[in-house]
Amino acid sequence: MFGSFPQRGGAVSTKRDKSHGAGFRNYIDTMAHDRPARLVLLVFATIVATATLLLWLPFSSSGPGGATFIDALFTATSAVCVTGLTVVDTALAWTTFGHLIIMISMMIGGLGVMTLASILGRAVSHRIGLTQRMLAANETSSRLGEVGSLITAVLVASLSVEAILTIVLLPSFISMGEPLLEAIWHSMFMAVSIFNNGGFVILEDGLAPMVGDWLFCIPIIFGTIVGAIGFPVIRDVYQNWRKPRFLSLHSKLTLTTYMLLWVGGILAFFLFEWGNPNSLGGLEGDDKILAGILHGTTTRSSGLSTLDMADLSSSTLFIFDALMFIGGGSASTAGGIKVATFAVLALAIISEARGDKDTVAFGRRIPNSSLRLAVSAAFLGATLVGIGTLALVYITNLPLEAVLFEVISAFATCGLSIGITPGLPTAGKLVLILLMFTGRLGTMTLAAALAIRETQRQIRFPEERPIIG
């Protein structure tokens, strides 16, 4: 009789476990269909927490006693949010296992916010719900029926480009005298960091020795651009490269604005740094050209640099602040308010100056709802940067120029640094952690995730115009 109790108890426990499992599954399924933005917040927070615990393990760090919790948390957040800001030397502070965790975190973070939520929703419910399709379609500028295939395209494109970059970078690491297996590993890590705009460097001396190495820097430039323009644009260009006129408005806006900012950033860098003996002025011939092109490319997204940012002039740092804040394309591995947002705001200003009733681009009228979203994204981004800058100045008493650069780099998930991040107190590191997390999620996604009311207002009030300006 007594022997029957454990069996009965075990059966009940198993039944309860299944019930709890089903309850959790139903909860996630409901979140995936009804509140995908909140699901994204939960998923990213879980990934950051998992990466933090793994980096906190003693065998993840090369130093005695392992990394401190705040350093593990900062590094994990920077990797998952594909930022690249560091508080310790990536090459020296972490073991091979730690580097592996950082690389995997960058790969997951680079997949994109809504893309990751869609993958989770499909895994749990074996289908993508209508609400989630609408949000994912809005993030990726695709039709509702194409979201499922877009997710597959994202995975294929990511792995393909990373594989190509690994092969292209391999000869450079072999030429450094590294053994074959070590060269392959370093090539893989850097390929993931470049394409996902992660900004982490696994070389002990950083990228400074590569300042004149075209074979090493060109893949950085190419991989950064491909990762930063966005998956929808990559797919659109692949499908319509023979007939550019059939490209979507989003692709045209993104490509045009990205190229203008790219060229403008390169020219501005040449203008302000050509005679600076601490940067371009200290280089000769082709090295100057290569360094200018590289920094005009990586400033808005990947944050990889062959020059010391602390040696740049104040004018250049101001230009870099603006470029980092704008960032890259929507649904890309880059951060910032996105180039399409900047393009819509610029077009709206031009239309208003001309007295046009509509905002038009490439023969298409941009709806007012898109303009409101652009204004909201830019304003929320500027507000977060302002609050973060104020908090960090108050905590550290560091110069405003240095703090503003670091804050924008964190919010825009760029990763460029003038060297103040490692020396920040714990409170200062927490400020940057929150900025990186918020910047990667996107201001609009975070606002949607935290919104209390999710229904549209059914009553429209009488219109009255306030005085503007």
Residue with tokens 């393009």, as numbered in its chain:
343
In the three-class reduction of DSSP (H, G, I as helix; E, B as strand; rest coil), residue 366 is classed as strand
In terms of Cα–Cα distance, which of 211, 251, 217, 224 is closest to 82? 224
Domain regions of the chain by residue span: 17-449
Cβ proximity of 333 and 218 under 8 Å: no
What tokens were used for 445? 């996604």
What tokens were used for 244? 């550019």
- One-character DSSP codes across 58-121: GGGBSSTT---HHHHHHHHHHHHTT----SS-HHHHB-HHHHHHHHHHHHHHHT-HHHHHHHHH
In terms of Cα–Cα distance, which of 303, 363, 373 is closest to 338? 373
Return the bridge partners of 360, or none.
Answer: 365
Residue with tokens 């303009």, as numbered in its chain:
371
Helix-strand-coil split of the chain, %, nearest 5: 70, 0, 30
Return the bridge partners of 361, or none.
Answer: 364
What tokens were used for 150? 């877009």
The DSSP 8-state label assigned to residue 276 in this structure reads -
Secondary structure in 3-state letters for 4-27:
HHHHHHHHHHHHHHHHHHHHHHHH
pTM: 0.87
Give CA–CA dist 184/190, Å, rounded. 10
Please give the angle made by the CA atoms of 192, 293 and 104, to the nearest 5 degrees.
10
Nearest-Å Rg of the Cα atoms of the chain is: 24
Return the bridge partners of 364, or none.
Answer: 361
Burial of 241 (0-12, 13-18, 19+ CB in 10 A): exposed
Q: Sign of dihedral through CA atoms 26, 455, 339, 404?
A: negative
Cβ proximity of 322 and 296 under 8 Å: no
* H or E element in which residue 445 lies: helix 443-450
Mean pLDDT of the chain, nearest integer: 85
Q: Sign of dihedral through CA atoms 149, 440, 61, 299?
A: positive
Q: Where are the beta strands (DSSP E) in 306-407?
A: 359-361, 364-366
Residue with tokens 């201001």, as numbered in its chain:
443
Please give the angle made by the CA atoms of 196, 200 and 202, to the nearest 5 degrees.
125
Backbone angles phi, psi at 365, to 5 degrees: -90, 130
Give CA–CA dist 254/21, Å, rounded. 43
C-beta atoms surrounding 179 within 10 Å: 10
Residues of the chain with pLDDT under 50: 1-13, 144, 452, 454
Cβ proximity of 197 and 324 under 8 Å: no
What tokens were used for 277? 């003996």
Give CA–CA dist 263/254, Å, rounded. 14
In the three-class reduction of DSSP (H, G, I as helix; E, B as strand; rest coil), residue 402 is classed as helix
